[in-house]
Structure 1
Amino acid sequence: MTLPQARTVGDLVTEMARLYPENFAIIHRRRRMTFAELEASMKAHGSAMLAAGVQKGDIVSVLSANTPEWLEIAVGCASIGAVLCPLNTWNKDDELRRVLERVQPNLLFVGAAFAGQDLPGMVSRILGVRDGDARTGGSNGLRLQVIPIGVGASKFSRYQTFLDAGESGSRGVEQPAVAAEDVAFICFTSGSDAEPKGVLLEHGKAVVNGYHIGERQQLVPGDRLWLGTPLFYGFGLVNALPAAWTHGAALVIQDQFEPGEALSLIETERATAYYAFGNMTRKLLQHPDLPRRDISSLRTGLTGFSEVDIRLAVEELGVTGCCSMYGQTEAHGLCFLSDSSDPVEVRMATQGRPIDGWEYRLDTAVSMDESLPPGAGELLVKGRLSPGYFNDSCATRDAFTDDGFLRTGDLALIDQNGRMIYVGRRKEMIKVGAINVAPVEVEALLQTHPDVDDAYVVGVSDAERFEVLAAFVVAKDRGLGAGDLKAHVKARASSFKVPTHVYFIDATEVPRTTSGKVLKRSLREMADRLANDEN
């Protein structure tokens, strides 16, 4: 498929509506929309925002489950040059308050309660909004309009009124011109090691990079891409969305990931592309409904970062063309990606080649250690990069080199065929004696044990060897012992890679950020306490 002419998200919807008007753009259990219908809704939402006083460059936020309305708001923003800042539905009150105070949105769309989160109630507590109030000024100085979306969002009953006002209220208001270099989205990173940063993402780069991501997966018009993660993730907003829509394909979404519903949705809608992380694949494989569900329509897609993640998706779930990947939010999704036609061994062992338009270099000065693979270094990338972080010039300056490369903080090497092999996070390297050990390598070894569901490795202070390895293991079988796992690793790797400490932990006890990333610093603190108790 050829690269679309559109260089803004709004123009992309219009172009797909012209080329594939009857193709579905959105599929949800409650509603489905063709590209033609999405274009009409985009215009209606854009008009309503203009009537509400939103101007080009203003920020609009949405706090909601994965719903059609979420996507309608996103494209409505895009059509008038407003900037969408999606909010994390897993945030607690203080976390949400900090983000709102930083971005100061003009409009805040609030979805119904779901997954135990009373979203309207949370906004009421933060802003002091009384039932029915749409405009508020809280003690924190915020002044914005709060508008409900979705079924059951009765606490703020203004959504249809908001849309109706757009029909007349925007007459005579000039439609802003939107350019490729304009900011489309602000996506906040997870902040596993620091305060979350708002990554600025541009229209043109999101569209073009998304197209190339879709090409590597060999997406075609009419495909149906099932998305397991929240839309507020970069994996959804600047990866799945543009990859699908630049190819005339549908996004198949559910309010939240639930494995039984996911299997049913994939079967019923005959989804063809799979977008999920490794923990989601494991939950699907373990679900009792899997044997009776026909998910053979899945042929391509993207999944986690480890060899085990790819193997599970390809060999056990049956997504034979599932691709390996590497990227960061700052890269508008991805910058390295395998091809769905690559041999499965290649997809399991590497993160693929650079996506068209990307270049890289390795800073080997940071990894002068004989224990690392020859040629390994910190990965620096340049291409369709974010222009920086929202209102954070210091973080922007620190993240980029003088010649425009992003410092990823990841250690990697490039094989003889130009494919990238991920070694680990630079800051997470563990120094056992005088030897650097990459936690991801030991985690992968532990995950090959048939009774291990997941594993996380951190360093623990040691008087003799500076650091030793501590492994937190989520086991399938309660009879699994620490000695079993140590023997498993010792049979497959050097002795310095064998964990000194093995702690068994329930999956619900793994500390995570609100966006789901594992908090390694919290695990290190836990390991230090446990190791001290042992001594």
Structure 2
Amino acid sequence: MQMPESRTIPALLLEQETRFGDREALVGGDLRLTYRQLREKVRAFAKGLSAHGVGKGTRVAILMGNKPEWVIADLAICSLGGIMVAVNTWVTARELGYILKHSDADMLILGRRFLKYDYFNMLGELQPHAENLPALKTIIHVGPEPYQDSIPFEAVYSRGRGVPDHTLEKAEAAISPRDVTYLLYTSGSTSTPKGVQLQHYALIENMWHLGNRMHVTEQDRLWLAVSLYWGLGCENALFNLLTHGGCIVLQEFFEAGEALRLIHEERCTLYYGTPNMAQAMMEHPDRPKRDLSSLRSGGATGTPAQLQRVAELGAKEICHIYGLTETYGNCNVSDGKLDPRDKVFETVGRPLDGVIQRIVHPETLAPLQAGEVGEIQVKRYVTIGYYKDEDKNAAAFTSDGFFRTGDLGFVDEDGYLHFRGRIKEMIKTGGINVAPAEVEEILVRQAGVKLAFVVGVPDTTRDEIIGAVVVAEGKVGDDFEERLREALRAELASYKLPREFRFVEESALPLTSTGKLHKDKLVTFF
């Protein structure tokens, strides 16, 4: 396929309307939009936002599940030169207040509810807004219920009818490819969330290269239940398909039976999800009744066993993704179609085109050779920095401009990146560092082991000892733990051996709001 010429989001929408006007671009709820209809909706909503004062640099926050309105509002904000602030759908009132205040959001577009979360009640807890959220001037609601004097989403279209085309065209022409257009907040599990600033051109270029690695074409239809606020949703998924003329099929929130129905009825070809989603679909009673033969590829993260589960669901060409919000959601991706199976599942692939990457000693920053574990650092398709946080920016970038991911890995002789965990997850036992991923890799190869995770457990003598949390595959004998110990003794130095084992059900593993393993909480099993 031909790479889009556009390097701003409104220009991309025009280009893709010209190329793929009658092809479906977005499906969600009862709404189905072609590329032509999507651009018309986005422009009409952008005119309404313009009438409400949104322009270049205006910060507009979005808070709702995976509704078509999320995508329309997002693209409209970007088309005016505004900055879209994505808010975590699992947000608490405290976190919502922090993000709205820190981002300097002028406007908030939201639905009333998402699962058990009542966002209107949260807004009530943040009153008085004039004092607690001084920048917030306008609230737009999706759905029938208003929040106080909030504006209905549909009324924004009406307000925009009097705005002439040239107003929108002038706003679009004023956008530079390097303007910031997204402000995405990291999860903030250990401190206040960081606002990651992302630019127009990189959302287009990097996601084009991502789609090429997945062999995406205009024929592809991507099932998306991963929350749009997350980088995997609004960075990877959305712009992967928009740059290739494909279609996004939204699921407002994940439920396994509904996911199976959507993939079956919409003939989705691409899977974007977490390992626990695939497991839930495999175990759902509707699985035998649904035809998932349309699935082909997609993106996921996880262990080799977890990726194999996604392949067994139907996405046989599934690609292993590595990246951070700061690296536009991905910087390395395996090729599920062309790479050998061991490279697809056991590595996170080669860097995408345009990505500059190196492995260095995490303290001295000395370059390391193939096979040596060090910090993964990235220079191209990286955030320009955290919003209003110069201290974190100084710590996040090296003097020669590389972003410090805080992740460990090594590159093999073939150029594939092997992820080896977070630097902060490194276990220091008796004064010696141990990378958990090395022990985990050997554990998951053993018969009867479905999943295995290794953590540091506080110890008065050694500072930390190594603890292993294991999910068994089916029934195992009483000698299971001893067999694992013997296998590890044969392959690891004594200081790397787990001293404590815990055997748990997969359902007991602690997960973050985005379905990732909450590794910090595994220590509670000991």
TM, length-normalised to structure 2: 0.90
Q: Which of residues 318, 321, 325 in structure 1 aligns to 2:321?
A: 325
| Residue type at the aligned position of 2:89 | T
Q: How many residues align?
A: 514
Alpha-carbon offset, residue 34 of structure 1:
0.8
CA distance in 2, matches of 1:153, 1:329: 33
Where does 1:492-507 land on structure 2 (aligned, <5 Å)? 493-494=491-492, 496-504=495-503
Q: Which of residues 157, 160, 163 in structure 1 aligns to 2:157?
A: 163
Alpha-carbon offset, residue 83 of structure 1:
0.4
| Residue type at the aligned position of 1:335 | C
SS of 2:424 mapped into structure 1: helix
- Structure 1's 435 and 143: CA in aligned 2 closer, same or farther, altered over 3 A? closer
| Residue type at the aligned position of 2:139 | V
- Structure 1's 345 and 47: CA in aligned 2 closer, same or farther, altered over 3 A? same
Alpha-carbon offset, residue 203 of structure 1:
0.4
| Residue type at the aligned position of 2:79 | S
- Structure 1's 476 and 109: CA in aligned 2 closer, same or farther, altered over 3 A? farther
Q: Which runs of 5+ in 1 are unaligned?
A: 129-135, 531-535
Match of residue 209 from structure 2: 212
Checking the alignment, whether the CA contact within 8 Å between 2:308 and 2:345 is kept in structure 1 is: yes
Alpha-carbon offset, residue 461 of structure 1:
2.5
1:263 aligns with 2:260: yes
Match of residue 381 from structure 1: 378
Checking the alignment, whether the CA contact within 8 Å between 1:200 and 1:388 is kept in structure 2 is: yes
Alpha-carbon offset, residue 152 of structure 1:
4.5
Checking the alignment, whether the CA contact within 8 Å between 2:89 and 2:114 is kept in structure 1 is: no
SS of 1:6 mapped into structure 2: coil
Where does 1:100-139 land on structure 2 (aligned, <5 Å)? 100-127=100-127, 137-139=130-132
CA distance in 2, matches of 1:106, 1:161: 18
Q: Which moved more, 1:158-167 or 1:403-412?
A: 158-167
Instruction: Give deviations 1:191-212, integer Å, cap 9, x for gaps.
Output: 2343221100000001000000
Instruction: Give deviations 1:129-174, integer Å, cap 9, x for gaps.
Output: xxxxxxx63544343211111x444555622222211111567846
CA distance in 2, matches of 1:513, 1:482: 32
Checking the alignment, whether the CA contact within 8 Å between 1:190 and 1:517 is kept in structure 2 is: no
Alpha-carbon offset, residue 310 of structure 1:
2.1
- Structure 1's 36 and 323: CA in aligned 2 closer, same or farther, altered over 3 A? same
- Structure 1's 486 and 434: CA in aligned 2 closer, same or farther, altered over 3 A? farther
- Structure 1's 504 and 119: CA in aligned 2 closer, same or farther, altered over 3 A? farther
Match of residue 413 from structure 1: 410
1:145 aligns with 2:138: yes
Checking the alignment, whether the CA contact within 8 Å between 2:59 and 2:103 is kept in structure 1 is: yes
- Structure 1's 520 and 154: CA in aligned 2 closer, same or farther, altered over 3 A? same
SS of 2:222 mapped into structure 1: strand
CA distance in 2, matches of 1:382, 1:452: 38
Where does 1:38-187 land on structure 2 (aligned, <5 Å)? 38-127=38-127, 137-149=130-142, 151-155=143-147, 156=150, 158-169=152-163, 173=167, 175-176=170-171, 177-187=174-184
| Residue type at the aligned position of 1:500 | R
CA distance in 2, matches of 1:16, 1:326: 28
Checking the alignment, whether the CA contact within 8 Å between 2:274 and 2:516 is kept in structure 1 is: no
Paired-residue identity, %: 35
Alpha-carbon offset, residue 103 of structure 1:
1.1
Question: Superposition RMSD on alpha carbons, in Å?
Answer: 2.6
Checking the alignment, whether the CA contact within 8 Å between 1:308 and 1:444 is kept in structure 2 is: no
Match of residue 233 from structure 2: 236
- Structure 1's 157 and 58: CA in aligned 2 closer, same or farther, altered over 3 A? closer
SS of 1:424 mapped into structure 2: strand
TM, length-normalised to structure 1: 0.89
Q: Which runs of 5+ in 2 are unaligned?
A: none
CA distance in 2, matches of 1:396, 1:266: 41
SS of 2:232 mapped into structure 1: helix
- Structure 1's 241 and 300: CA in aligned 2 closer, same or farther, altered over 3 A? same
Match of residue 346 from structure 2: 349
Instruction: Give deviations 1:364-410, integer Å, cap 9, x for gaps.
Output: 36499xxx994221111111111001111111111111111111111
CA distance in 1, matches of 2:58, 2:19: 31
CA distance in 2, matches of 1:308, 1:373: 25
Instruction: Give deviations 1:395-444, integer Å, cap 9, x for gaps.
Output: 11111111111111111111111111112211111133454332234445
Alpha-carbon offset, residue 447 of structure 1:
4.8
CA distance in 2, matches of 1:172, 1:219: 35
CA distance in 1, matches of 2:381, 2:370: 29
Alpha-carbon offset, residue 313 of structure 1:
1.7
Match of residue 13 from structure 1: 13
CA distance in 2, matches of 1:191, 1:347: 30
Match of residue 462 from structure 1: 459
CA distance in 2, matches of 1:77, 1:117: 25
Where does 1:483-498 land on structure 2 (aligned, <5 Å)? 484-485=480-481, 487-488=483-484, 490-491=486-487, 493-494=491-492, 496-498=495-497
Alpha-carbon offset, residue 274 of structure 1:
0.9
CA distance in 1, matches of 2:495, 2:262: 45
Alpha-carbon offset, residue 457 of structure 1:
2.5
Q: Which of residues 392, 400, 412 in structure 2 aligns to 1:403?
A: 400
Match of residue 359 from structure 1: 356
Checking the alignment, whether the CA contact within 8 Å between 1:192 and 1:513 is kept in structure 2 is: no
Instruction: Give deviations 1:18-67, integer Å, cap 9, x for gaps.
Output: 10011111112321111101100111111111100112011001110001
CA distance in 1, matches of 2:67, 2:243: 20
Checking the alignment, whether the CA contact within 8 Å between 1:27 and 1:252 is kept in structure 2 is: yes
| Residue type at the aligned position of 2:138 | Q
